Structure 1
Amino acid sequence: MKWHFLILLIAFCSCGNSEKDAGDNLPVEIDFYAAEKKRIYMDELFDKIEVIPLETTPDCLLQDYPWIAGITDGNVLMKNDFVGACLFSRKEGRFIHNVGKKGQGPDEYILVGGTFCKEKNLMYANRGNTWIGINIETNKVEERVKKPYFTNLKIAGGVDNPYRLNDSLYMGYINNITGDIKYKIAVFNRNGEAVHLYPNHLLYPKKNQNEFIYVSGIFYRYKKNCVFIVVL
């Protein structure tokens, strides 16, 4: 299928197998200027396109820059990091309910952000030093995960996107705005304790700890591999 071929191409360019030798995990340089340039149409990449007109009411207006956080067989999860998250029916686009609640109270979140786990129907939201995993259908908090930190700086060295590997472990991209942190990706448990660290091959020509660079990246699974892509 065209869609599967596209993902396979990204996976090949984006990650290495941890079981191979360290030499196989060296960064790959791609010269986009030297590459062939051509127009690519959507029907060359996708087998099917779904258009879902979403219901718009005062209860489900996400404003500004909403984006698709997750898609299940029956629902679509839309969210805006600073506003909240809404669940819609995938078939009719009907608004179902708001997912969780923004605030300072118990089981409320500061920012939506984070990631979505389709297997468990969990949306991870930011509560400062922890994430809460909210079931998008029942609106109940089912998981609490402490954030790992790798520096004393408030805006650097943390993990923004907890990707759920299994029932006990998570993976995340380390925010390395100063360039001093030698790790790129961390595997950690619910207590925020790192159990495995992957080296950082990114180059930082300038070091400025006062500038916030929000690069959380995207994790996804393809066959038996876990793939990570940095989104700039």
Structure 2
Amino acid sequence: MTAQITAGFLLALFLGAGREQLSTGELRNLGLELLKMPAHVTEVIENLDLARKLGKEMANAKSVLFLGRNVGFPIAMEGALKLKELAYIHAEGFAAGELKHGPIALIEEGQPVIVIVPSQRDAESLHPKVISNIQEIRARGAKVIAIAEQGDNQVADYAEHVIFVPQSESMFAPILTVIPLQIFALELSTAKGLDVDQPRNLAKSVTVE
């Protein structure tokens, strides 16, 4: 998943330059930011103790919900998919902006919800809206785990647990935020005694209709 996202970004930068949608300066800056990702990924991997701990603690969970906005939404869906594939429990990824249009009805006391929190540093940041989402689901008894950028001092006031990732260009943030979700699914599945290398009913490629 992480390699696929990176390949997609490289293709987007190539096309953006070829179609003159990116200036030379923009292309250079984005390229330099992308080159920082391997070091950032290493930092994330070295600081996954909380993700591992929470995965083990939630081995008996019957359902886990994921919320994200903008680029955080597909990452929420990926987190849910990994949990379904490896742990065989109900997991769904929702667009946080749609929370009041159905998903909030699923929130009850003790319901685990993992929220992808956008950066505070963007000019048009969606951060306040996601904080509002967290407040709404916490008020209904949800157990909230946030994936947030280092330096976000506000989210800890609202989420029960916060897993931090390094600051990065917002466009590239999914490369980092997806990793704790993958490790969370791995640890939860392992705690259930499941073989994560042999998920049931899955194939690497689809060969039959």
TM-score normalised per structure 1: 0.21
Rg (Cα) greater in structure: 1
